[in-house]
A and B are shown apart, each in its own frame.
Chain A
């Protein structure tokens, strides 16, 4: 049997090769997605780990890559000397971290798509996580080390002079070296490194440090070290082992990158689904042929066991070889996505490709299991009835009827989906989760039902091809619909990809619209002073400078930091000025307005509704809030408002905020003009008043709104890249399926050619078949995408997320889907047109 199985593999080389190709594609889809997502995760985590390198214990707070706007608390530099004097301390170094903007050669601020612009002081060994690519550490007041990425992009080399904007007026520095953090690239983040004294003077921190890194002597456990250091610290300054610190940081990354990591996980799942469909689709095409062969074997006297062995050997050989190749192809695919993203200017942190054991196992499991399962179907068909019955059965074209066995589950799923969708409108809590479950159920129901509607859909989408009695269009349609299951399976991968594209675009469009609406509704200020790059903080004197400008009615500063809120975790926290905020911002209260804003005093806090929900807090209750430095405060909730755009998280009166966060600089300054002020001349005067303040810009309400609603661009681009991968893989799956289907019908094509079908007509026939399959997938995908988007956005109606039919994207999805169909047919069509008529007719 073994030799038989191998022989039949050899004899059916083309079939085996195409099946193997499908397995390869499926496995590549899975491994490529996982490698890519693991790599991004590893890069983000690697960046964090690199900043705590070599330390056993960390004193004070560290500025994370993802809380660039939160200014870390400071400790007196003298603390460093006292820590060094401790018994178990081998080495200790202090660091300043802040933000600084690098100016490009063209005099413009380096563009970094909203990523952090970090500044830090150089940490001498053993602590530095910097890896120098070129040059040396910075030395003296005029030197800086730049991150390698930015330097490369802007064309800065060691020895060049570069202008850098900090709290101080812009200054020129000599580039002493180029470095990277750990092994990962920082994505869009930029950093500038100065020596400690320079950093202290640049950031108004003479005699201060933000963080102290401590290495213990050999044999001193970090916990002991921590206990020794704790008594030396001023109140509000914490000490943590670097394990705790890294853990907290990673936690924070996952928190901040929730959308990203959640999305990447979802893509892993989608990849498995699409991969399995690509493989199953290809194998279902040769089902009849394989059933026939196995039935023949049975008729010739092979036992069930022998047939089974033959199938397993064949599946194992193809599955193993193709899965191994697929893994490699997956690495290539991951590399390619990254390259494409990079080339299109989307910056995500990255490191060398990460191939986890989990990825290998999953990818091979998908490749092997689906191949074997698909191999067992014809074996079962051929062995559970008499050989002759099997032979006859295999020659009859199969048409699925809506069997009672399936009606049940399909109805059940659809009902359940509808129920969940309905529930999402009724219940107020977790509506999003519920509606997502509903959406998934709809997808499953759609996938189950697809084979049964393939004939109808085929007639619908095939109509233009058959119009006027065009027989070849008709043949193409009949060919795709006479095996509905395999057409459905082949179309499914495209369906999933396109449905997700639509879903994501509707969802993102809805969220953006809601952000815009929210800002329109809440922001009554005419202008805002913000950091040049849009995320960092600005010097506090900005507000004072503007306040004196004639025509300015009100000026209100807002500070921002990240706090740990009991029950809600890391929460963006704003400091507002109760006396002036009402003139520039309208709170959108949940329920009646609780108290006059001006009455907001120490110990009071306002919660954004999401925070209130997460913390289970109600007006009048107490809530514990902790600063990154470890200071705690028990605050009374005075009101709950909704705003995910400008004041997400919570809002505190500034005096309370300052006590907790010890932060000098502000996030933005909102400006309201007097009703009779001349906007143009007032704006000019405002700008003039800010001449002495470096690194700030004035934005109009409208600019602010557009900026806020346009954020998350690079994460979105990443998702779209993965979706594109899904669609490409689906296309390759259809291409393989079409090639197999042509191979299977070689004789039919030979006969048609003999009856007068030209080469061009042959190509057309093949193209139409692939087009119809793709059109079916596109159609279901489009409907599904919009339904899911409707479900999910509906669940978020209260957040102002609106559902709009995305006509443009819909048109785009249809065009792409059909193009996939046309392109996928090219190789098979070329081959079909080249067929030698005589050997085709002789083909069995």
Chain B
């Protein structure tokens, strides 16, 4: 998929995002630069309103920065039209949202293959089987989302994000609506995806436990990256958060 296997999967340079005008302007991002290397598992942490989601949206091509540039692999997003961006999302990006956002009328399996179906692409059955087994739901493939718990639904959402073998998976507070047990199971699965298939992952969270699963943590505050660390334990994350403030 990528010719330049060792280059960064995602690059954001001097990203700014402003909402509104004049005195009421909100600076959601004030000059953020990031590079995500292949196979990296990055957590973006920060208090509510610090610009985490905005950064993720801009990096994923869901939103356009007010200033700065984003490259997804070799592609520069600036200047692409909606159709191009949609095609990039189809092939190179996977999403997991806070609310599970499965389609209620489709079965679990149908939800997983939905992105391929939308794109009109072939389904790799082996890959599908592997994902279903990996998220532990191969037995329940025919069930509807309403019959699943929140944790299970989010696992379906993860499988759905991985089905297209995207270059990068963005997850915005995926554990926000889950109890601690389900949270741990899900985070485990994220880590396995990183380890077993070298999936590049960006995890937006304000949960220190979730951040402790990542190899690299960016601390965001008021639209700027204040601090960056490698892997930390949950306890260290809490400490770092406190010191960054």
Contacts and interface: CB of A to CB of B under 8 A. Distances in A.
A838 B57 CA distance: 8
Interface stretch (B2-10, B80-88, B135-143, B188-196): B80-88
B101 interface: yes
Interface string B20-35: 0000000000000000
B89 A397 contact: no
Given A396-B146, A755-B89, A837-B62, A748 B118 contact: no
A758 B117 CA distance: 12
A769 to B, nearest CB: 12
A757 B118 contact: yes
B97 interface: yes
A752 B119 CA distance: 11
B197 interface: no
Given A397-B146, A841-B97, 5 more contacts: A755-B95, A756-B90, A756-B118, A756-B164, A759-B83
Interface in B189-236: none
Interface string A753-797: 111111101000000000000000000000000000000000000
B117 A757 contact: no
Interface of A: 396-397, 469-472, 475, 478-479, 482, 747-748, 751-759, 761, 837-838, 841
Nearest to A841: B97
A741 to B, nearest CB: 13
A482 B146 CA distance: 14
Contacts of B164: 756
B146 A756 contact: no
B86 A757 contact: yes
Interface stretch (B38-46, B103-111, B125-133, B178-186): B103-111
Contacts of B119: 756
Contacts of B118: 471-472, 752, 755-757, 761
A838 B63 contact: yes
Contacts of A479: 105
B114 interface: yes
Contact of A756 (B57, B106, B110, B115): B115
B98 to A, nearest CB: 9
Contacts of A751: 97, 101, 103
B90 A838 contact: no
Contacts of A747: 99, 101
Pairs A-B, 10 closest by C-beta atoms: A756-B90, A471-B117, A478-B105, A751-B101, A755-B115, A758-B86, A756-B89, A757-B118, A756-B118, A482-B105
A260 B183 CA distance: 72
A520 B79 CA distance: 76
A397 B106 CA distance: 12
B62 A397 contact: no
Nearest to B146: A396
B62 A838 contact: yes
A715 B33 CA distance: 75
Contacts of B87: 756, 758
B114 A397 contact: no
Given A753-B86, A758-B86, A748 B62 contact: no
B63 to A, nearest CB: 6
Interface residues of B, number: 27
Nearest to A837: B62
Interface in B56-99: 57, 62-63, 82-83, 86-87, 89-91, 95, 97, 99
Nearest to B97: A841
A747 B97 CA distance: 12
Q: Which of B63, B95, B103 has the most CB of A within 10 A?
A: B103
A753 B85 CA distance: 10
Nearest to B94: A755
**Interface of chain A: mostly helix, strand, loop or mixed:** helix
Given A469-B117, A838-B63, A478 B101 contact: no
Contacts of B97: 751, 754, 841
B170 to A, nearest CB: 10
A475 B115 CA distance: 13
Q: Which of A753, A756, A757 has the most CB of B within 10 A?
A: A756
Contacts of B86: 753, 756-759
Given A837-B62, A838-B62, A754 B105 contact: no
Contacts of B114: 471, 752, 755
Contacts of A470: 117
Nearest to A762: B86
A271 to B, nearest CB: 35
A396 B105 CA distance: 11
Contact of B104 (A397, A472, A759, A841): A397
A478 B83 contact: no
Nearest to B57: A838
23 contacts: A396-B146, A397-B105, A397-B146, A471-B117, A472-B118, A475-B103, A479-B105, A747-B99, A751-B101, A751-B103, A753-B86, A754-B62, A755-B115, A756-B90, A756-B91, A756-B115, A757-B86, A758-B87, A837-B62, A838-B57, A838-B62, A838-B63, A841-B101
A759 B110 CA distance: 22
A306 to B, nearest CB: 29
A756 B119 CA distance: 7
A759 B114 CA distance: 16
A482 B145 CA distance: 14
Contacts of B160: 755
Nearest to B117: A471
A471 to B, nearest CB: 3
A230 B9 CA distance: 110
A754 B117 contact: no
A475 B146 contact: no
A472 B114 CA distance: 9
Contacts of A748: 101, 103
A757 B95 CA distance: 13
A837 B60 CA distance: 12
A759 B146 CA distance: 28
Nearest to A750: B101
Nearest to B157: A751
Contacts of A756: 86-87, 89-91, 115, 118-119, 164
B105 to A, nearest CB: 4
A532 B116 CA distance: 72
B13 to A, nearest CB: 21
A754 B62 CA distance: 7
B95 to A, nearest CB: 5
Contacts of B83: 758-759
Contacts of B101: 747-748, 751, 841
Contacts of B89: 754-756
Contacts of B105: 397, 475, 478-479, 482
Contacts of B90: 755-756
A759 B115 contact: no
B218 to A, nearest CB: 21
A751 B104 CA distance: 13
A757 B119 CA distance: 7
A838 B105 CA distance: 23
A363 to B, nearest CB: 38
A247 B164 CA distance: 81
B28 to A, nearest CB: 12
Contacts of B104: 397, 482
Contacts of B62: 754, 837-838
B171 to A, nearest CB: 12
Nearest to B95: A754
Contacts of A396: 146
A475 B105 CA distance: 8
Contacts of A752: 103, 114, 118
